[in-house]
Chain A
Amino acid sequence: MTILSTKNLRKKYGTGENEVHALDGVDLEVSKGEFVAVVGTSGSGKSTLLHMLGGLDRPTAGTVTVDGKDIFTLKDEALTIFRRRKIGFVFQNYNLVPVLNVYENIVLPVQLDGNEPDKKYIDSIIDMLGLSAKLSNLPNNLSGGQQQRVAIARALAAKPAIILADEPTGNLDSRTSQDVLSLLKVSSQKFSQTIVMITHNEELAQLADRIIRIEDGRIVGGN
Chain B
Amino acid sequence: MKVANRKCIYRLSMAHMKSVRNRNIITILAIVLTTVLFTALFTAGISLKEGFEQSNFRQAGGYNHAVLKNITQKQFDELKEDSLIREYGDRLFVGMPSKEPFNKSHVEVNYYDENSAKWSFCTPIEGRLPTEGTNEAATDTAVLKLLGVEPVIGNSFTMTFDVDGTETTETFTLSGYWEYDIAVVANNVVIPRSRAEEIFEKLGTKGNNGMCTYHTMNLMFDSASGIQDNLREILERHGYQDEKPGADNYIATGVNWGYVSTQMGENMDPGMVLALMAAVLLIIFTGYLIINNIFRIAVSNDVRFYGLLKTIGTTGRQIKRIILLQAAALSTIGIPMGAVAGYLLGTAIVRVTAANMDGIDKVISVNPLIFLGASLFSLITVFLSCGKPRRMAAKISPIEALRYTEGTQSRKKERKGRTGASIPKMAWANLGRNKSKTLISVLSMSLAVVILDMTHVFTGGFDMDKYLRDVTQDFLLAEASYFQVSQKWMNKEGGKEAAVSEETIARIMQQEGITGGRAYGTISDIEQLVTAERAREEYGSWRKGGLSGEDLDFMVDHILEHVGDQRAMDTRLYGMEDFLIDKLEVIDGDLGKLKEGGNYVAAVYDTDDFHNLYEDWHWAKVGDQVTLRYVDTYEYYNPKTGEVYPENASLGNLLWAQRAKEYREEKYEVVAIVLMPNTLTYRFYGDDEFVMNADTFKEHTGTDKVLYYAFDCVDEQIESMEQYLKEYTEGEGSFYDYESKMTRAKEFYELKNMFLFVGTAVSLVVGLIGVLNFLNAILTGIMTRKKEFAVLQSVGMTGKQLNFMLITEGMLFAGSAIMVTLMVNLVMGPVIGQALEGMFWFFTYRINIMPILVVLPFFLLLGVVVPLASYRYVAKRSVVERLREAE
Interface residues of A (CB under 8 A from B): 47-48, 51, 54, 56-57, 76-77, 80-81, 83-85, 88-89, 91, 93, 95, 97-101, 103-105, 107-113, 117, 135-138, 140-141, 154-155, 158
Contacts and interface: CB of A to CB of B under 8 A. Distances in A.
Interface centre among B796, B797, B884 (most CB of A within 10 A): B796
11 contacts: A80-B793, A80-B799, A91-B791, A95-B787, A97-B791, A100-B426, A101-B415, A108-B421, A108-B795, A112-B795, A158-B796
A99 B434 CA distance: 11
Closest 10 CB pairs of A and B: A84-B796, A99-B429, A104-B421, A95-B791, A101-B415, A107-B420, A57-B880, A80-B798, A136-B414, A109-B796
A89 B878 CA distance: 17
Interface centre among A77, A93, A101, A109 (most CB of B within 10 A): A101
A39 to B, nearest CB: 19
Contacts of A136: 414-417
B861 to A, nearest CB: 25
B800 interface: yes
Contacts of A54: 794
B432 A77 contact: no
Given A107-B421, A136-B417, A137-B413, A99 B799 contact: no
B665 interface: no
A2 B276 CA distance: 79
A117 B420 contact: yes
Nearest to A160: B796
Contact of A57 (B414, B418, B878): B878
A98 B415 contact: no
A99 B422 contact: no
Contacts of B878: 56-57
Interface stretch (B65-73, B206-214, B261-269, B402-410): B402-410
Contact of B421 (A77, A81, A100, A158): A100
Given A97-B791, A104-B415, A112-B798, 10 more contacts: A56-B880, A57-B878, A76-B799, A85-B796, A95-B794, A95-B883, A97-B421, A100-B421, A101-B416, A138-B410
A81 B798 contact: yes
Contacts of B408: 98, 140
Contacts of A138: 410, 412-415
B412 A89 contact: no
A2 B853 CA distance: 61
A89 B794 CA distance: 7
Contacts of B588: none
B795 A154 contact: yes
Contacts of B879: 56-57
Interface in B740-798: 787-788, 791-798
Contacts of A80: 793, 796-799
Nearest to A166: B883
Contacts of B422: 111
B417 A77 contact: no
A118 to B, nearest CB: 12
B44 to A, nearest CB: 46
B791 A99 contact: no
Interface centre among A81, A98, A107 (most CB of B within 10 A): A98
B446 to A, nearest CB: 24
B462 to A, nearest CB: 49
A100 B430 CA distance: 9
A137 B796 contact: no
Interface of B: 405, 407-408, 410, 412-418, 420-422, 426, 429-430, 432-433, 787-788, 791-801, 878-880, 883-884, 887
A105 B797 CA distance: 13
Tell me the interface secondary structure of chain B in the complex.
loop
Nearest to A114: B801
A81 B796 CA distance: 6
Contacts of A103: 417-418, 420
Given A109-B795, A138-B412, A98 B405 contact: yes
A104 B421 CA distance: 5
Contact of A77 (B429, B792, B799): B799
A104 B880 contact: no
A99 B794 contact: no
Contacts of A51: 880
Nearest to A154: B795
Nearest to A140: B408
Nearest to A57: B880
A91 B879 CA distance: 14
A52 to B, nearest CB: 9
Interface centre among B413, B417, B795 (most CB of A within 10 A): B795
B789 to A, nearest CB: 10
Contacts of B793: 56, 80
Contacts of B798: 77, 80-81, 112
B414 to A, nearest CB: 5
A141 B411 CA distance: 9
A93 B426 CA distance: 21
A77 B414 contact: no
A112 B883 CA distance: 20
B600 to A, nearest CB: 86
Interface centre among A80, A83, A109, A110 (most CB of B within 10 A): A80
Contacts of A89: 794-795
A204 to B, nearest CB: 20
A111 B422 CA distance: 7
Contacts of B432: 99
Contacts of A47: 884
Contacts of B792: 97, 108
B884 to A, nearest CB: 8
Given A56-B880, A104-B421, A112-B796, A97 B414 contact: no
Contacts of B880: 48, 51, 56-57
A77 B795 contact: no
A84 B802 CA distance: 14
Nearest to B431: A99
B414 A137 contact: yes
A141 B433 CA distance: 15
Nearest to B788: A97
Contacts of A81: 796, 798
A172 to B, nearest CB: 15
A104 B792 CA distance: 13
Nearest to B403: A140
A138 to B, nearest CB: 6
A25 B800 CA distance: 33
Nearest to A139: B408
Contacts of B429: 99-100
A113 to B, nearest CB: 7
A84 B420 contact: no
Contacts of B417: 101, 103-104, 136
Contact of B420 (A56, A88, A104, A140): A104
A116 to B, nearest CB: 8
B430 A99 contact: yes
Contacts of A104: 415, 417, 420-421
Nearest to B884: A47
A83 B800 contact: no
Nearest to B797: A112
A21 B801 CA distance: 33
Contacts of B421: 97, 100, 104-105, 107-108, 111
A42 to B, nearest CB: 11
B784 to A, nearest CB: 11
Contacts of A105: 421
Contacts of B794: 54, 56, 83, 89, 91, 95
Contacts of A135: 418
B483 to A, nearest CB: 70
A32 B421 CA distance: 31
